[in-house]
Amino acid sequence: MSTEPTNAAEFTVAEISIALKRTVEEKFGYVRVRGEISGYRGPHSSGHAYFSLKDDKARLEAVVWRGVFSRLAHKPEEGMEVVATGKLTTYPGSSKYQIVIDRIEPAGAGALMAMLEKRRKLLLAEGLFDQGRKKPLPFLPATIGVITSPTGAVIRDILHRLADRFPTRVIVWPVRVQGEPCATDVAAAINGFNALPAAGPVPRPDLIIVARGGGSIEDLWGFNEEIVVRAAADSDIPLISAVGHETDTTLIDFAADRRAPTPTGAAEMAVPVRLDLVATTNELGRRHRAAMVRFVVSLRDRLQAAGAGLPSAPDLLSVARQRHDMAEQKLSASLSALIAVKNFALARTAPRLSPVHLRARTDQLAQRVDSVGARLRPAINRRLEFFHQRLGAAARLKDNLGYLNVLRRGYALVTDAGGQIVRRASDVGPGAALHIKLADGELDAVAQGVVGSAPAPTKKPSRPKIRREPGSGGSQSELF
């Protein structure tokens, strides 16, 4: 190994990396690179996207920063051939050069069509284009929501055709129909119409029309974005797609409930012709009136035919009239006979209703009442004497057993401040107020304390209960 001295400059790794970075950025600056996207797995958790651009001979690393990625009109997809615009630079951490992309464009119509077909198959597999999801259009919508540019000829064509066919309330949701914000605006408009309350200040549309004039595939690309297709498929309000000319096809056409060849055709699908409805209504009214006339004539003919086979009114009433006359004759004779019977009965009863007869009957009843009264008086007197004797016996028993006699023998009745009888010394505490009742008066006292302890009360033999008559002072038994 040669150890001869040399005058070659010595660099650190960082210095070499910085020098290379400066050289690459100054030499190339912003470039447009065409290649196929490879190794794309979606944005990183940081929001940045990393992948490669390759052709059949070389490979170039690429990065899209998070802020740029959200603004891309065409998001990167694996295998998509694109033209990427960005700044060529190096990444010293791995000794490689890369392009920091600011813009991505499909490389020609063929690439766009291939990406479109791939997206269509993906959404078709999810079932977003199934016929079972399609909703019928309302026959006569009261309010139509139109999503389009407010300044283009499309909205004028739609309003003019609606006014010619059937004037209807129209609510326009202005959107940008071309460029990067197109897809976001259209999806927000579809979701916004669906979010309106049914009884809110702004009426909720019964039908939505998404419309735009013709253009190239790049101009109509916003209506191929997945966000727009999903919003159209999820719309609860029936939706008509009227994007481009009759030969133009976008993915929103497959997700919509109906596709119109032109915006004017969408207006024709939305409402019927008013004059045709008036003519149809008049014709139906004429046919209804004619049918009613025929029905009434038929009923009249049937009634007349049925009436021809019925007997006349006099014939129907003749038998009933004859029965009535015979019943009237029998009733008159029966009334006369009944009156005669009642008169005879009254004549037989009249003598018994004379004043003399009634007076004699009254005297008999009076004699019976006097006889009963004479028998009741001794019985009542005996009953009263019996109760008087029982009452006297009860009064004497009350006096003998009453607590006043006990008090006269030297006893006292002691109650506490609440009026409750004090039976044991242990029931009274020091300082308790007492009321003492003696035979000749009453005293108020205060307890000084308990002297000794009274023995536990023994159970006294039960005494026979004394049957007391009502009012005999049964409450006096408290002393015994």
The domains of the chain are located at 13-107, 140-273, 400-449
pLDDT, averaged across the chain: 84
Write the DSSP string, 390-402: HHHHHHHHHHHHS
- Residues of the chain with pLDDT > 90, as a percent, come to 33
> What is the pLDDT averaged over residues 158-173?
93
More reliable by pLDDT, 283 or 362: 283
pLDDT at 3: 59
Whether domain 13-107 has CATH 3.40.50.12160? no
236 by DSSP, 3-state: which? coil
pLDDT band at 377, cuts 50/70/90?
A: confident
The pTM assigned to this predicted structure is 0.47
pLDDT band at 283, cuts 50/70/90?
A: very high
Return d(Cα 322, Cα 314) in angstroms, integer.
Answer: 12
pLDDT at 349: 78
Q: Would strands 81-91 and 96-106 be described as parallel, antiparallel, or unpaired?
A: antiparallel
- H-helix or E-strand containing 406? helix 403-408
Contact 239, 173 (CB under 8 A): no
Q: Is 80 exceeded by the pLDDT of residue 470?
A: no
Cβ neighbors of 171 (< 8 A, separation 6 or more) are 143, 144, 145, 146, 193, 202, 203, 205
- Token digits for 254? 């497959």
* Residue range 57-93, pLDDT digits in tens: 888 999 999 888 888 877 888 888 888 899 988 887 7
pLDDT band at 5, cuts 50/70/90?
A: low
Sign of the Cα pseudo-torsion (28, 31, 35, 39, in order): positive
* Residue range 319-328, pLDDT digits in tens: 888 888 888 8
Instruction: Give CATH superfamily name and number for 140-273.
Output: Succinyl-CoA synthetase domains (3.40.50.261)
Q: Is 70 exceeded by the pLDDT of residue 1?
A: no
pLDDT at 452: 57
For residue 216, the one-letter residue type is S
pLDDT band at 108, cuts 50/70/90?
A: low
What φ, ψ does residue 200 adopt, rounded to 5°? -85, 180
- Token digits for 365? 């009843």
